Structure 1
Amino acid sequence: MTVAASAVPERVVLAARPQAALRLYCVPPAGAGPECYLRWAPLLPPWIEPCSVALPGRGTRAAEPSLTDPAYLSARLAAVLDDWTDPRPYAVFGHSAGALLAYEATRHLRRTHGRPPSLLAVSSLSAPHIDAYSAGLPPRLTAGLEGIRELVGPIPDQLLADARLMAAACTPLLADCLLLLHYRHHPEPPLDVPLALYGGEHDPVTSVPDLQAWNDLVTTPTRVQLFPGGHTYLQTETKALVDRLTETLDPALYARAAATA
């Protein structure tokens, strides 16, 4: 497959804070662009610079062909995260399909001797080594609107009433579902990176045991932190999630700084 040179993730700075001590990269969930994290900027303290990534075929880049190769995208995402022009520590948060890209980008950085994140935070996605994607996604993709609602939450009436709008909204979602279905986990040693695990209390897509299984992939296990809601809990529990993540980032930042001093 030939991939255009421009088909790479692009950094999006949600609120420029050049004096911030830490950059936080938020990788969008399935079908979404960086705009889904705009509400995070005013909720984060000044010492965190909120960033995201724009992927081909999603959000403002919806006119571009979507890419569904997880290895290609995660390698290019790694180059965005480990920015040689910015020596500040960084953390990465990924929700849904974004969690897989964040994890694989971190593994790619280790393989290439890049700079690891101070924290890897994953949300609402089963651990990649337990083969849950091929079992859980096809039934939802064949269940019509109810299956789609489980993945993205409520669907506005104006989308349901316009077939073209509905197609435009569903195309990037389906692309990210294909990305998950294309994924094959290759065992490597556990990551020596602090981990945070988040999820919804009533998530029909990702169970608590499937979230807990992420602990198999790191050297220091952590507990799952749950919030009210389902698979898209971050839409309704934004402040609670950002507050919890901020509390985790502070000690993670200084622990990583001490380890690399």
Structure 2
Amino acid sequence: MTVAASAVPERVVLAARPQAALRLYCVPPAGAGPDCYLRWAPLLPPWIEPCSVALPGRGTRAAEPSLTDPAYLSARLAAVLDDWTDPRPFAVFGHSAGALLAYEATRHLRRTHGRLPSLLAVSSLSAPHIDAYSAGLPPRLTAGLEGIRELVGPIPDQLLADARLMAAACTPLLADCLLLLHYRHRPEPPLDVPLALYGGEHDPVTSVQDLQAWNDLVTTPAPTQLFPGGHTYLQTETKALVGHLAGTLDAAVNRPVATA
């Protein structure tokens, strides 16, 4: 695969806090850009610097070709996470397709002897080793608007009224769905990284059982924290989710950061 040199994830600092003790990288969900996490900044305590990543073909980079190779994207994301110019510890949160990239970037860091995150938080995605993506995604992609709503939540009226806007909005979503469909899990030893699991109580896309299966991939299992709502619960439960995540980070940040 030939990829342009510029086709790499870019760090986006959502609120600059150079004195913060830890950076929290929030990987966008399917079809979204870093802006979806802007509301998190005022909800996080000052010792956490909220960051995200801008992926080619998504958000403000929608004009660029969308990359759908999970191995390539996760390796480039790992380089963003392990910033040698910033010695502060970091954590990573990923929702939906962002959870897969966060996980694979963490595994890439271990393989390359990079720094590992103080916490890996995954949300609303079936564990990657149970092969749920190829079974769950195609029916929703062929179900029209109802299937799209299950994946991204309510669709604004202005998009529904304009076919070109709707097509532009769906393009990055389809790219991330292809990323999930292209993914093949390769067995490796469990990660020695603290895990946090989040999901919606009535998620039609990711079952609680499939979410809990992430515990198979780490050395220390984590409880599953569920919030009211479905696959896009974080749109309505932002304050509760961020509060719980901040508390989990507070407990994890004092744990020595693992090295590969």
* Fold shared by both chains (TM-score > 0.5): yes
Name the SS of the counterpart of 1:216 in structure 2.
helix
Distance across 1 between alignment mates of 2:129 and 2:256:
30
Aligned-pair CA distance for 1:258: 7.3
Give the secondary structure class of the aligned counterpart of 2:40.
helix
Match of 1:127 in 2: 127
**Two-structure CA RMSD over aligned residues (Å):** 1.2
| Separation (CA, whole Å) in 1 of partners of 2:29 and 2:259 | 31
1:13-71 per-position Cα deviation (integer Å, ceiling 9, x unaligned): 00000000000000000000000000000000000000000000000000000000000
Partner of 2:84: 84
Q: CA deviation at 1:193?
A: 0.1
1:258 aligns with: 257
**Closer, same or farther: CA 259–8 of 1 in aligned 2, 3 Å:** closer
Residues 258 and 204 of structure 1: CA distance in aligned 2, closer, same or farther (over 3 Å): closer
Secondary structure of 2:246 counterpart? helix
Q: Who is 2:175 aligned against? A: 175
On the 8 A contact 2:33/2:54 being kept in 1, the answer is: yes
- TM-score, L = length of structure 2: 0.98
Distance 1:257 1:140 in 2: 42
How many Å apart are 1:260 and its aligned residue? 7.6
**Alpha-carbon offset, residue 251 of structure 1:** 1.1
SS at match of 1:259: coil
CA distance, structure 2, for counterparts of residue 93 and residue 239 of structure 1: 15
**Unaligned residue ranges in structure 1 (runs of 5+):** none
Aligned to 2:256, what secondary structure does the other structure show?
helix
258 and 83 in structure 1: CA distance in 2 versus 1, 3 angstrom threshold: closer
How far, CA to CA, are the matches of 1:13 and 1:155 in structure 2? 27
Deviations 1:105-153 (A, max 9, x none): 0000000000000000000000000000000000000000000000001
Q: CA deviation at 1:257?
A: 3.0
Q: Distance in 2 between matches of 1:157 and 1:113?
A: 48
SS at match of 1:104: helix
Counting matched residue pairs gives 259
- Give the alignment's TM-score, normalised by structure 1: 0.98
Q: Which runs of 5+ in 2 are unaligned?
A: none
